[in-house]
Amino acid sequence: MGVTADDVARIAGVSRATVSYVVNDGPRPVSKETAERVREVIRQTGYQPNALARNLRLQRSKTIGLIVPDTHNPYFPEVARGIESIAFERGYSVMLCHSASDLDREIQYVNMFHAQRVPGVIWIPGTNIFEPYHKLKGYGIQTVVIDRLVPHEAVPAVVADNVEGGNLATQHLIDLGHRRIGYISRPVDLSHSSGRFEGYQTTLKKNGIPFDDSLVVKGGFILEDGRRAVQELLAIENPPTAIFAYNDIMAIGGLRALHEAGLHVPDDFSLVGFDDIAQSAFTCPALTTVHLPKFEMGQNGAKLLIALIEKQKPPEEVLTPLSVRLIVRESSGAVSPQHS
């Protein structure tokens, strides 16, 4: 157990430096025969360089940190898969931590990443406090933010066109004849959700529909929050005929509330989500939603971060906002006669 480069060197009858040169195709050349002999010993002993020692010596680690707010929403595992796919390809491993949208945990993870001397972190903020970013910066750790923007600061980020998504969803409902359109918001807005909300508001205005803030209710992060939010909207004085939810989790939870209220979707009520998580195509009725390229966002985030770490110029395409598109399924339909 624990065969080291010294062992390999001794068995192969060379110095440890030579072993290192063979392993790393090192800065110095090694003769064909010696190299082959060393490689043979490595094969037989199963030697694997100790990454701890190597990283210590090289003053860098090949691990990148990833902080996500909440793995309940399948959105995040999918982004994480995208990140991991690129990282793995480039020889990096990923340390995934979830903050449960809690600032203290975010900061604890940031400190841990610093202790581990990771060269870079991908951060999906869970709150609107950006202290973790400043700490990372202070530690000299490269940081990429996904799907969020840090106000008043040029932070490397991978974003999608959330405003356009909000436009598409809202316009779709208006085109179906809806005039009273509810909105389920994020409990505390971040750039991605405020973009969606902005799209909602401007599209209403563009179509001459006044914004009514009684139609906006706060959602949450789990299905139950969506159910509750829809129940709230159904209970107001002049309820909406359609709802646009800031994410699919809210919408799927909302479908349940509508079902329980005896409302038939889309005949009696329309519902549009955002994200296009896998489940959306399999609800009954299937959910109309805005497709977000989650896997690609993760990939772009990893590409950008690795470029920053290795001081290369990030490819153009990872910096341009990813486009979204409306996926019309079965949960949206023409407004029912009694409302028009």
Both tokens assigned to 39: 């490689």
CB of 28 to its own copies, least distance (A): 23
Q: CA torsion angle for 184, 190, 193, 198 (degrees, to 10)?
A: 100
Q: CA torsion angle for 56, 58, 59, 63 (degrees, to 10)?
A: -80
When asked if residue 91 is in the footprint of DNA (CB under 7 A), the reply is no
The one of its own copies, DNA, none whose footprint includes residue 24, by CB under 5 to 8 A per kind, is DNA
Query: What angle (nearest 5°) sits at the alpha carbon of residue 303, between those of residues 297 and 304?
Result: 90
Compare residues 286 and 319 and give the one whose CB is closer to its own copies. 286
Distance CA 5, CA 21 (A): 11
- How many residues touch DNA under the rule CB under 7 A: the total is 33
Among 18-26, 124-132, 171-179, 323-331, the segment contacting DNA (CB under 7 A): 18-26
Print the binding letters for residues 46-85 with DNA: x by CB under 7 A, - otherwise.
Answer: -x-xx--xx-xxxx--------------------------
On the 0-12 / 13-18 / 19+ scale of CB atoms within 10 A, 235 is exposed
**φ and ψ of 184, to 5 deg:** -105, 120
CB atoms within 10 A of CB 6: 11
Compare residues 48 and 338 and give the one whose CB is closer to DNA. 48
Compare residues 54 and 339 and give the one whose CB is closer to its own copies. 54
Q: What's the distance, CA 234 to chain centroid? A: 31
* Percent helix, percent strand, percent coil in the chain, to nearest 5: 45, 15, 40
Compare residues 28 and 152 and give the one whose CB is closer to DNA. 28
CB of 321 to its own copies, least distance (A): 26
Both tokens assigned to 195: 């973009």
When asked if residue 25 is in the footprint of DNA (CB under 7 A), the reply is no
Compare residues 191 and 332 and give the one whose CB is closer to its own copies. 332
- For residue 139, the SS3 value is coil
238 and 210 in contact (C-beta within 8 Å)? Answer: no
Positions that interact with its own copies (CB under 8 A): 1-2, 46, 48-53, 55-56, 61, 63, 71-72, 74, 77-78, 80-81, 84, 93-98, 111-112, 114-117, 138-140, 222-223, 227, 252-253, 255-256, 259, 278-279, 281-284, 286
Binding site for DNA (CB under 7 A): 2, 4-6, 13-18, 20-21, 23-24, 26-35, 47, 49-50, 53-54, 56-59
